[in-house]
Amino acid sequence: MSEKVLVTGGAGFIGHILIKHLLDNTDWEIVTIDRLDYSGNLNRFSHMLKDADSETKKRVKIIYHDLKSEINNLIDSQIRDVKHVFHLAASSHVDRSIVDPMTFVYDNVVATGNLLNYARNLDKLETFVYFSTDEVFGPAPDNISFKEWDRYNSTNPYSASKAGGEELAVAFENTYDLPILITHTMNVFGERQHPEKFVPNTLWKLRENKKVLIHSNKDKTKPGSRHYVYAEDVARAVLFLVQNLELVKKGNLDEYGAKCLKVNIPGTKELNNLEVAQLISKFSGYKLNYELVDFHSTRPGHDLRYALDDSFIKSIGWEPKYSVEEGFEKLVKWFLENPEWLDF
């Protein structure tokens, strides 16, 4: 009998990409929990698995549940005996968090607490992977990339709620010996991403001949920048980490001896927002019409630059498969062949 794993938020963007990677590269049975809100879309499964055989499709069980409520006996009866938990379910939009911060507290802190409390009673659990974000560290000064155990400096309710969930995970390892692995990812792009996000939204605007607004500094001279990472590479990194936990443990990431494991999964190259739009224009053939806007001064909580240090994950033998340019070229081609995923 194959092993079983739990993925929360499996109908979400990164969640469904991870599930596809696990189906292709393991024989695991996958149970996924999703509440199917604006970010969770079952059409991702039907589209992703349209060419899969019936046995592969049978390896995925989808459970409808909102993790703001504890996992009851009925839900538990459909999970049980999982080897790994991948916790991706979250609210993840900075703008929404600024308008409605308490939703993010419930979704990212309370929900994480409920899942951790359930997981501490799983007898066969080997790893609980908590997906965090580069944004918990706050804005990065020029030439600075944050390492796994650097201090938090959350600048909006979204990043604060992710830091809160992260600290709960650390506490559950310290209190209950729950085997926690925390990952920090940067700007992830890939197939079937929600069209409100910058990359698919930019392609949609180019297609519709609309102006692309590029977030910049107060003087409108310097676009904001991020490290971008292809979603398939994130899935590859996560599977690599859980299959090589001993390498991670030998890294001794925290100089003060914390038990919890933390690993950054950054992109291969830093790009500013204008450079990203230019790449999308280049690979799509659509003309770019843009304007630099001072969004950061008018909307506190939007940071101009984030950056993660990648030295640890490289030291244990993992690197992305795709360069940023290769990833964007592959993705733009995919969206042009599947235009229904660009429509609001």
Same domain, 288 and 157: no
Rg (CA), the chain: 20
Which CATH number do you get for residue 255?
3.40.50.720
Whether residue 315 lies inside any domain: the answer is no
Letter string b/e over residues 18-47, b meaning 16 or more CB atoms within 10 A of that residue's CB: bbbbbbeebebbbbbbbbeeebbbeebbeb
Per-residue model confidence as pLDDT tens digits over 5-59: 999 999 999 999 999 999 999 999 999 999 887 677 888 998 999 989 999 999 9
Q: Are residues 52 and 153 in the same domain?
A: yes
How far apart, in whole angstroms, are the C-alpha atoms of residue 134 and residue 185? 6
- Cα–Cα dist 199/188, whole Å: 10
**One domain, residues 114 and 252:** yes
Contact 8, 113 (CB under 8 A): no
Residue 59 lies in a domain: yes
Q: Is 134 one of the catalytic residues?
A: yes
Give the burial string for 260-285 (b: 16+ CB within 10 Å, else e).
bbbbbbbbbebbbbbbbbbbbbebbe
Residue 294, classed as helix, strand or coil, is coil
- Whether residue 99 lies inside any domain: the answer is yes
Residues 161 and 15 in one domain: yes
Structural domain contains residue 331: yes
Q: Are 212 and 155 found together in one domain?
A: no
Average pLDDT over residues 278-283: 97
What type of residue is 7? Answer: V
State how far the Cα of 311 lies from the Cα of 263, in Å rounded to an integer: 10
247: left (phi over 0), alpha (psi -120 to 50) or beta: alpha
Asked if residue 316 is part of any domain, the answer here is no
Please indicate, yes or no, whether residues 164 and 295 belong to a single structural domain of this protein. Answer: no
pLDDT in tens, 71-93: 999 999 999 899 999 999 999 88
Whole-model pTM: value is 0.94
> Can you state the angle between helices 157-176 and 111-119, rounded to 10 degrees?
20
- What is the spatial distance between Cα 224 and Cα 309, in angstroms, rounded to a whole number? 18
- 292 and 147 together in one domain: no
CA–CA separation, 90 vs 140, rounded Å?
A: 23
pLDDT classification of 302: cutoffs 50, 70, 90: low
CA 85, CA 7: separation in Å to the nearest integer? 6
Q: Are residues 134 and 154 in the same domain?
A: yes
Q: Give the strand pairing for 225-230 and 269-272.
A: antiparallel
Does residue 166 lie within any of the structural domains?
yes
How does residue 275 score in pLDDT terms, banded at 50, 70 and 90? very high
Helix axes 198-207, 324-337, angle to 10 degrees: 50
Task: Give the CATH number for residue 284.
Answer: 3.90.25.10
| Catalytic residue of the set 29, 107, 135, 270 | 135
Q: Which of 158, 228, 306, 322 is catalytic?
A: 158
CB atoms within 10 A of CB 329: 17
Residue tagged 């929360």 (tokens): 8
Q: How many CB atoms lie within 10 A of CB 186?
A: 21
In a domain, 310, yes or no: no
Give yes or no: residues 70 and 103 share one domain.
yes
Q: Active-site residue among 29, 107, 134, 233?
A: 134
Residues 34 and 81 occupy one common structural domain: yes
Q: Count of domains in the chain?
A: 2
Whether residue 276 is found in the same domain as residue 244:
no
Together in a domain, 234 and 119: yes
Can you give the pLDDT at residue 238?
98
Min mean pLDDT across 75-89, 109-123, 154-168, 258-272 is at 258-272
Q: Would the pLDDT of 173 be above 90?
A: yes
313 is a domain residue = no
Q: Which range, of 297-301, 326-330, 335-339, averages the lowest pLDDT?
A: 297-301
Question: In angstroms, rounded to a whole number, what is the distance separating the alpha carbons of residues 284 and 302?
Answer: 28
Q: Which domain holds residue 276?
A: 195-226+270-304+323-342
**Which residues are bridge partners to 188 per DSSP?**
229
